[in-house]
Amino acid sequence: MDDYQNNPYEEQQHKPRIRREEIPPTPVTWGILALCVAVFMYANVLRADELYQLELAFDPAHGKTVPGLFIHMFVHDNFLHLLSNGIGLYIVGRWMEIRYGSFRFFLLFYLSALVAGMAQAVHAPGYALVGASGGLFALFAAFVRHYPNVRFYIIFPPIPWPLPAWLLVGLMAMYNAVLWVGADMQISWLQNNLAYMAHLVGLLSGFILSLIMIPPGKEVEQRRVNTGIDFTEPDR
């Protein structure tokens, strides 16, 4: 007993450690990812090029409103589209599900995606809308509200660039605003098929919903997990 007390190495070995199984589960995040992959496999792989014939997209100008309005956030145009949204959901979604709880997290994602989809349809009628980015941008808005200084490493060869969350989300918003201006001014080299209005409205919707769900100054009981973030700190 005396030997153990005098041996710092032994004492360190017996200190409690955070185990991976102590991380709160994030079933909704994984469920959304699984649903996106399943829909992609069905619509883009098994049915080849029939994605838009299956009426899974939201395209009210051509009479494709239901079920597209309610499911377009789980549908993706191609593999790169699915991959980019999937990575974002995997990184930010789990953090926000732990922060907000599964039910509020799903509302934050889904309601924002609905509002963003409708805003895009009003702004740019005649274009079919698919993708989770409206809801994903909402999650980014909530994330940057709580953890503005958490750094994301953006891979830009030859080195990764560490960007704080507030700067990354600010650049995302600025880029989409530039696309909006470019489309309105009919600048050809600024026009593409990105749903910039859905992205911008998703950011705004996510921020507003986050304020409603967790008002400023309210304490939320959550645990420290092995992401290195203290989830017991008060909301900002």
Instruction: Tell me the per-residue pLDDT of 96-154, one tens digit each, with 9 for 90 and over.
Output: 999 999 999 999 999 999 999 999 999 888 788 999 999 999 999 999 999 999 998 87
Whether residue 227 lies inside any domain: the answer is no
The whole-number pLDDT of residue 10 equals 43
Calpha distance 196→119 (Å, rounded): 10
Say if 65 falls within a structural domain.
yes
**What average pLDDT is seen over the chain?**
81
**Helix, strand and coil in the chain, % to nearest 5:** 60, 5, 30
Q: How many domains does the structure of the chain reveal?
A: 1
Residue 30 lies in a domain: yes
Distance from the first to the final alpha carbon of the chain? 47
pLDDT reported for residue 168: 93
pLDDT of 27 strictly over 80: yes
| Spatial distance between the Cα atoms of 71 and 229, rounded to a whole number of angstroms | 33
Examine residue 180 and state whether it is found in any structural domain, yes or no.
Answer: yes
Q: How far is CA 235 from CA 86, 150, 183, in A?
A: 27, 15, 37
CATH value at residue 35: 1.20.1540.10
Q: Which domain holds residue 120?
A: 25-213
Q: Is residue 224 part of a domain?
A: no
pLDDT at 62 > cutoff 50 = yes
pLDDT score for 180: 85
Q: What is the dihedral of CA 168, 170, 176, 182, to 10 degrees?
A: -120
> Rounded to 10 degrees, what is the CA torsion of 124, 108, 136, 201?
30
The verdict on residue 122 lying in a domain is yes
pLDDT of residue 184: 67
pLDDT of 18 > 70? The answer is: no
Task: Classify residue 231: in a domain, yes or no.
Answer: no
